[in-house]
Amino acid sequence: MAGPSKIRASRRYAAFPKRIFGLYCSQHRAFNMQHIIQYYQKRVGARATKERLLNVLMSLEKQVSKAEAEGIQEWLESKDPTPASLRFILDDVKDGKVKVKAEVKVEIKREPSLELRSPSPPPPRTKECCVCAEDLPESSFPEQKITSTCNHEATTCRDCVSATIATQIPELAWDQLHCPECPETLPYDVVKTWASAESFELYDKKSLLAAFQTMPNFTMCLAPGCGSGQIHEGGDAEPIMTCRTCNYKTCFSHKMPWHEGQTCAEYDTMRRERMEQEAASETFIYQNAKICPNPNCGHGIIKHGGCDHMTCRQCNYQFCYAWDDWGAKDGSVR
């Protein structure tokens, strides 16, 4: 009886032939199909689904020569198929350098009694990656759980584990990275195992900066996109901190971009005066203004003379300034 994965695969690829270029549909990997399609300069989107890639591959199999099809199958079945090796094989086919090989095959077919056939190896066992949804050989998956605290087997392929970690590193705190399949956090050694060299360098820098932030006089650079930090030995006595990475100036005392043209004392005075002015304005409005009676507005209005018929400039609501409504309580208009 067929297993659940085989049943899913048969349903998924029911519209395709059993084999394309010698491989079952479930054995084809997206990036290998992309390399073949790109070699023949066929247009297909970078995010094309596997079914879309298989459709293009199926059309190519009908268009290419027998020698090219054999070359593609040979490349797909090799241990390390690379774009360079694909070009080498197909360029040789087009140049006619494999003609002798084809003739030898014909001679062997004339003498079937001399042909030594070895049994075809069984296709490798596969399972579906929960991230990219590709059916991949079991060797493409981690041999153990991603973290020691995960309570599930690893169903994310190696490439997707690395890609997920690379996505999380710039967006999350260094100690908040988690397993692609569950909320378990990734310890330092696990990140080092799976992250690329470039991603791990950023992760290591973030963890180091987090440790430095507990130290006295450590200040982060506030330049957009910098993300660096340093210990400012001058402290409040020398408040300008110049980043050693990007030369951006930060005020150590106020923890803000340096207030160019003002000392810290002058900046404090200016900020205090501004706050006093804002407080005085709020007090004046509270004591002298009437709030627009429109429940959806709340704009403050001050009457400078004239009749009591008011129109709010914010929402155009009309009301009587004396009664907060249009018309007096006795029904007469004021």
The model's pLDDT over 203-219, given as tens digits with 9 standing for 90+, comes to 998 888 888 777 888 88
- Domain co-membership, 22 together with 85: yes
- Domain co-membership, 240 together with 189: no
Pairing of strands 135-137, 126-128: antiparallel
| Residue 131 in domain | no
Which of 196, 212, 228 marks a domain boundary? 212
Q: Give the pLDDT of residue 168.
A: 93
Structural domain of 270: 216-287
Q: Give the pLDDT of residue 163.
A: 92
The yes-or-no verdict on residue 1 having pLDDT over 70 is no
- Domain co-membership, 14 together with 49: yes
Whole-number Å distance between alpha carbons of 185 and 268: 43
Q: Give the side-chain half-sphere CA count within 13 A for 75.
A: 25
The model's pLDDT over 25-71, given as tens digits with 9 standing for 90+, comes to 888 888 788 888 888 888 777 667 888 888 888 888 888 888 888 88
Residue % of the chain over a pLDDT of 70 = 85
| Residue 125 in domain | no
pTM of the model as a whole: 0.41
The model's pLDDT over 141-167, given as tens digits with 9 standing for 90+, comes to 998 899 989 999 999 999 999 999 999
- Domain co-membership, 183 together with 220: no
Task: pLDDT band for 86, please (50, 70, 90 cuts).
Answer: confident
The model's pLDDT over 91-130, given as tens digits with 9 standing for 90+, comes to 888 776 544 344 434 444 444 544 556 666 777 788 888 8
The yes-or-no verdict on residue 178 having pLDDT over 90 is yes
- Domain co-membership, 14 together with 93: yes
Which of 253, 272, 287 marks a domain boundary? 287
- Domain co-membership, 282 together with 295: no
- Domain co-membership, 189 together with 229: no
Give the residue with greater pLDDT, 124 vs 313: 313
- Domain co-membership, 191 together with 250: no
Pairing of strands 240-242, 249-251: antiparallel
Q: Give the pLDDT of residue 116.
A: 55
- Domain co-membership, 17 together with 95: yes
Task: pLDDT band for 78, please (50, 70, 90 cuts).
Answer: confident
Q: What is the mean pLDDT of residues 184-201?
A: 92
Q: Give the pLDDT of residue 23.
A: 84
Task: pLDDT band for 5, please (50, 70, 90 cuts).
Answer: low
Whole-number Å distance between alpha carbons of 40 and 59: 12
- Domain co-membership, 262 together with 296: no
Q: For residue 142, what are its two tokens?
A: 């981690």
Q: Which residues of 10-40 are buried (b: 16+ CB within 10 A; e: fewer)?
A: eebbeebeeebbebbbbbbbeebbbbbbebe
Dihedral of the alpha carbons of 95, 97, 99, 101, in degrees to the nearest 10: -150
Q: Give the pLDDT of residue 200.
A: 92
Beta strand segments in the chain, E: 19-20, 23-24, 126-128, 135-137, 218-220, 229-231, 240-242, 249-251, 256-257, 290-291, 300-301, 309-311, 318-320
Residue % of the chain over a pLDDT of 90 = 16
Which of 185, 212, 239 marks a domain boundary? 212
Task: pLDDT band for 328, please (50, 70, 90 cuts).
Answer: very low
- Domain co-membership, 174 together with 250: no
Q: Across the chain, what does the average pLDDT equal?
A: 81
Q: Give the pLDDT of residue 329.
A: 40
- Domain co-membership, 322 together with 294: yes
Q: Give the pLDDT of residue 105.
A: 43
| Residue 267 in domain | yes
Domain count, the chain: 4
Whole-number Å distance between alpha carbons of 237 and 1: 80
